[in-house]
Structure 1
């Protein structure tokens, strides 16, 4: 009897070892498979928001009825977006006007920005105003990150806006033009003192038309008026520069408006390598100018003996 139980015990032990070995092999094979399986998109969580993309179509206004029909097909916010993309005021649109219209209309102008979301050369500059004459647009950057952008109208061919690195000087909520007293310039912010050139609100016709100043929508001019910094003076001497204003690029008066070419290439208005290089040069000039820094605000690495 004792021998019988011993044989039975050995049988159970053998089965247990076989089952345990099988389970262990299955687990080992499963883990090996998991190691060999490539990571798929489903295994990860996307941390970045999807990139907004759109195409554009060109629409030529054939009649007043066509214009009314087009405007009635958009909401008020969508119309404002279309006007901004065409650098124009609503009352300036008439039969014969060509408009670029995005196929995807989203109430966020920054999604349609021709400027990059970040500009590394500007990452050490608290606030920067970039004005592109080629694409008739401005952009505001904080430490190299895009805050907002919008349309402008710079100087016409005979009275162009000079490109260069400038600084915010003085501002006036309401300024009268020295060229024509009938021209009132709300939210004026000067960045070329002796030439009297600055940013301000004034009508946008859809092309460069000013006498050198940078025309903007009122909300944009007001934002810069409140956001940018003026110079600091002591006994009429500049002791601290204001916010840098970087005017770049050249407008081609022999071509159609560059934004109309978005119908052919939706990246046509983006900054080109030459303009990027210009920004790098201006950023270095900014860093080399002691009037852009207060000694007490510098850290040990920024102090140059």
Structure 2
């Protein structure tokens, strides 16, 4: 999805297309830890394969639908079109227990804000000082237009834009993370697999949350960025030739779980940069 943008006086053509770090030192000032929210854990997390149409006829609960949409990495419109869907047998818990990210990552305790996008699991997570405050499904770049991986920072945003790649594509709650390549996250339909032109598609409620929660960059002048926005780390790869990875949950409910140790390994090379940029913003 591509969009021509002029950003805050920086005259640039921008396509909206959908080193080392070190561990936290004892010398670093420890952040005030965010209180861990109280969440309801389901008694059992297991999954079955069901007919989407039949399941929708029997289930009218908004909470049940919310969880089922997230598990299938889709939205309500596309969910109804699917032949079969994976459904948790116990839908009584909070959504965090059905998605792969850990509830707490101590390694991130000094990072005020960070957004993680997992390519292999097609899910995102938002952490404040190492505490998971939001998670949900995403559909990222398709095989021909993959989402780039690595460390990015949110920069400019637009509540609503129209794609120049296709003028029928309306992008809501768009937040750019790569100005030259035009990669960002925004609301758009979720067919249940990576289908975008490199951007990270989100359900509207999630896109709106991130739009309001994340920080924009601050410009020093027409040519230079004074402070970067919120760090965003995109990681992993997706096997486009294999079945949808969440189908593995039927045999192994923990098949997609992302342990704290993996997040630490992923973030380690970027931690120094993240903390330096965070300190710059705090000094204003």
Q: TM-score range by the shorter chain?
A: 0.7 to 0.9
Q: Identify the structure with the greater helix proportion.
A: 1
List aligned pairs for 1:40-119, cutoff 5 A. Answer: 52-61=42-51, 67-77=52-62, 78-93=64-79, 97-106=83-92, 108-119=94-105
CA contact (8 A) 1:239 1:291 kept: no
Q: Measured at CA, do residues 256 and 250 of structure 1 come closer, stay the same or move farther in structure 2, by a change above 3 Å?
A: same
Q: Tell me the distance in 2 between the aligned counterparts of 1:119 and 1:271.
A: 11
Q: Which residue matches 1:267? A: 254
Q: Secondary structure at the match of 1:55?
A: coil
Shift of 1:259: 1.1
Structure 1 residue 194 corresponds to structure 2 residue 184: no
Which of 216, 222, 227 is residue 213 of structure 2 equivalent to?
227
CA contact (8 A) 2:142 2:196 kept: yes
Which of 292, 297, 302 is residue 278 of structure 2 equivalent to?
292
Q: Tell me the distance in 2 between the aligned counterparts of 1:49 and 1:182.
A: 40
Q: Tell me the distance in 2 between the aligned counterparts of 1:296 and 1:196.
A: 27
Structure 1 residue 280 corresponds to structure 2 residue 278: no
CA contact (8 A) 2:161 2:174 kept: yes
Question: Based on CA coordinates, which of the two structures has the bigger radius of gyration?
Answer: 1
Q: Which residue matches 1:215? A: 201
- Range with bigger deviation, 90-99 or 172-181: 90-99
Q: Which residue matches 1:247? A: 234
Q: Tell me the distance in 2 between the aligned counterparts of 1:49 and 1:106.
A: 11
Which of 107, 128, 138 is residue 114 of structure 2 equivalent to?
128
Count matched residues. 244
Shift of 1:51: 5.4
Shift of 1:285: 3.3
Q: Tell me the distance in 1 between the aligned counterparts of 2:54 and 2:141.
A: 33
Give me the CA root mean square deviation: 2.3
Q: Measured at CA, do residues 152 and 122 of structure 1 come closer, stay the same or move farther in structure 2, by a change above 3 Å?
A: same
Structure 1 residue 258 corresponds to structure 2 residue 245: yes
